[in-house]
């Protein structure tokens, strides 16, 4: 079998997020984040789990970077903890030099191993200080100014070595899970019985604009003051599923599928990629609850031209239209999301978590749609899965992750096919380097290519970690699987 070809200069590696792996939450001057607070709420919102220790990456990062070398990665995407850099978070608050030193050491250690750093400025861990001070992302004007200053500190202190920047990770999740259904920090919602504060009908849309304008300020700043001397690139990472109509013969379901993707992706991609207003279907449904962009906002968005579209993709779904008017708390676009269509056909093979089914054929459609619609080079900044029943497996069982191996192979081929469609796709980051705190799901769900023993913190490579290099080598050189040039694939299997 000849795998689908990828570009010969294709960049690949693994991704992580600070709060999920670092631990050391009260060491060396780090301030508290909203996730520190959220994880310790009672009754628990996170199955009793927290990031106090997590994977202890703060103390074990050299070991983890050695794993990147062992796995053959050329790049590593990680996030910086805002409250480790500026403990209280604000633009007039002091910088924590110990936090700077940690990331200096991490970046230097990556470069000494020949691994390219990719830095995400914000992966959900807002400093608790600015949430307490003015409501955090609920204050559109204040939050974007504080984020701009935080970004400036990072550019100034790390930009001589970091040439790849991602401003914000998955603003949809931040807005909806944090301020719509309350499943994530800070847990605000008017529909979640565990939440004591929030307004699901308005707050997600306010937060969405704050994130869009914060991205714009950070990107415009980079373009103006840092791009020339540092010669780097900058983008954003947006999540979003691909949607097929539940009833392929019903035009209303075709419209529902497109509308769902506009509510999921167009909400952010229209402003940040095209400097345009939100999709018309959002304006039609949400009315005045959707904040307006001013002329000065659009002027800033035009100055925030970015280099790439970061795509986080895991699965796809069917969309079915609803025959009733949406409530004010609806954030899906007045559709039902389903995993089986009208004929009972599953969208894909089940994984180890209920919401994710393997859908590489729709990943190809998703990549092609996004490139054709927004015209930005794409980096797949997250893609991965947990294996069926992996949360119940021993280490010896979990390392033989055949489902994940197949998931990666199928999704890499989807990338190659989309390239043949004419898409400009330049890189891929597997989620995740290691099993870690899966946010509100705690430590049960395992997305890592490295098994983490949460009692001893010992790391063990899974089969997928040791095969990805061969998968990429075969595709980037278009060598048939089984060719002697990729014989290391079989050799590495024997060491697992």
The predicted pLDDT at position 203 comes to 99
The pLDDT value given to residue 204: 99
Confidence of residue 479 (pLDDT cuts 50, 70, 90): low
Is 349 a domain residue? no
Catalytic hit among 22, 142, 148, 170: 170
Q: Is 348 helix (H, G, I), strand (E, B) or coil?
A: coil
Q: Sorting pLDDT into bands at 50, 70 and 90, what band is 477? A: confident
Q: Is the Cβ–Cβ distance between 38 and 185 less than 8 Å?
A: yes
> What domain count does the chain have?
1
339 within some domain: no
Q: What is the pTM of this model?
A: 0.96
The phi, psi pair for 186, rounded to 5°, reads: -90, 10
How, if at all, do strands 335-338 and 316-321 pair?
antiparallel
User: Strand pairing of 316-321 and 11-15?
Assistant: unpaired
- How many CB atoms are located within 10 Å of the residue 365 CB? 18
Is 293 within a domain? yes
Per-residue pLDDT at 8: 87
CB 20 within 8 A of CB 50: no
Residue 319 placed within a domain: no
Residue 173's contacts (CB-CB under 8 Å, 6 or more residues apart) are 124, 184, 239
Taking the C-alpha atoms of residue 206 and residue 258, their distance in angstroms, rounded to an integer, is 23
Would 260 be classed as within a structural domain?
no
Question: Could you tell me the pLDDT band of residue 341, with boundaries at 50, 70 and 90?
Answer: very high
Structural domain contains residue 21: yes
Q: Is the pLDDT assigned to residue 296 strictly greater than 50?
A: yes
Q: For residue 323, tell me if it sits in a domain.
A: no
Parent domain of 464: 11-239+275-314+328-334+356-493
pLDDT of 278 above 70:
yes
Answer yes or no: is pLDDT of 4 > 90.
no
**Cα four-point dihedral sign 125, 130, 132, 137:** negative
Return the sign of the alpha-carbon dihedral for residues 459, 462, 467, 472: negative
Mean pLDDT of the chain: 95
For the chain, report the end-to-end CA distance as a whole number of angstroms: 24
Sign of the CA dihedral running 166, 408, 438, 337? positive
Would you say residue 5 lies in a domain? no
Task: Work out whether strand 116-122 and strand 75-79 pair parallel, antiparallel, or are unpaired.
Answer: parallel
Distance (Å, whole) CA 183 – CA 429? 26
| 396 counts as catalytic | no
Task: Please confirm, yes or no, whether 488 is among the known catalytic residues.
Answer: no
CATH code where residue 180 lies: 3.20.20.80
- Choose the catalytic residue: 22, 142, 258, 382: 382
pLDDT at 487: 36
């Amino acid at each position: 079998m000849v795998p689908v070809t990828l570009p010969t200069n294709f960049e690949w590696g693994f991704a992580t997020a600070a709060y999920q792996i670092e631990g050391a939450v009260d060491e060396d001057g780090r301030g508290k984040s909203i996730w520190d607070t959220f994880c310790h709420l009672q009754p628990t919102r996170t199955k009793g789990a927290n990031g106090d220790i997590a994977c202890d990456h703060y103390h074990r990062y050299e070991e983890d970077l050695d794993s990147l070398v062992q796995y053959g990665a050329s790049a590593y995407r990680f996030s910086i903890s805002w409250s480790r850099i500026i403990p209280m978070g604000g633009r007039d608050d002091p910088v924590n030099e110990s936090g700077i030193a940690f990331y200096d050491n991490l970046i230097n250690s990556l470069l000494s191993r020949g691994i390219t750093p990719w830095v995400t400025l914000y992966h959900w861990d807002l400093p608790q200080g600015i949430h307490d001070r003015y409501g955090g992302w609920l204050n559109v004007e204040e939050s974007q100014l504080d984020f701009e200053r935080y970004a400036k500190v990072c550019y100034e202190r790390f930009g001589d070595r970091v040439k790849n920047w991602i401003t914000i990770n998955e603003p949809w999740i931040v807005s909806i899970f944090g301020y719509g259904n309350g499943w994530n920090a800070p847990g605000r919602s008017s529909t979640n019985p565990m939440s004591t504060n929030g307004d699901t009908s308005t707050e997600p849309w306010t937060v969405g604009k704050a994130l869009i304008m914060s991205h714009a300020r950070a990107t415009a700043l980079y373009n103006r003051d840092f791009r020339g001397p540092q010669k780097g690139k900058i983008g954003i990472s947006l999540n979003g599923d691909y949607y097929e109509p539940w009833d392929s013969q019903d035009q209303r379901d075709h419209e529902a599928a497109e509308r769902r993707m506009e509510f999921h992706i167009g909400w952010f991609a229209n402003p940040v990629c095209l400097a345009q207003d939100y999709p018309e279907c959002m304006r039609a449904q949400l009315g005045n609850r959707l904040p307006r962009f001013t002329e000065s906002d659009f002027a800033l968005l035009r100055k925030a031209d970015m280099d790439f579209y970061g795509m986080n993709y895991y699965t796809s779904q069917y969309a079915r239209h609803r025959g009733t008017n949406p409530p004010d708390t609806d954030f899906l676009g007045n559709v039902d999301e389903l995993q089986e269509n009208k004929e009972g056909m599953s969208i894909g093979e089940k994984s180890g978590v209920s919401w994710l089914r393997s859908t590489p054929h729709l990943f190809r459609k998703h990549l092609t749609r996004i490139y054709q619609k927004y015209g930005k080079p794409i980096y797949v900044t997250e893609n991965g899965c947990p294996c069926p029943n992996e949360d119940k497996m021993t280490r010896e069982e979990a390392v033989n992750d055949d489902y994940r191996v197949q998931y990666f192979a199928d999704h890499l081929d989807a990338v190659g096919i989309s390239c043949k469609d004419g898409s400009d796709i330049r890189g891929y980051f597997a989620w995740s380097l290691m099993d870690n705190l899966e946010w509100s799901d705690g430590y049960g769900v395992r997305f890592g290519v490295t098994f983490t023993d949460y009692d001893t913190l010992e790391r063990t490579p899974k089969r997928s970690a040791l095969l990805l290099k061969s998968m990429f080598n075969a595709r980037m050189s278009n060598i048939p699987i089984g060719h002697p040039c990729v014989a290391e694939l079989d050799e590495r299997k024997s060491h697992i």
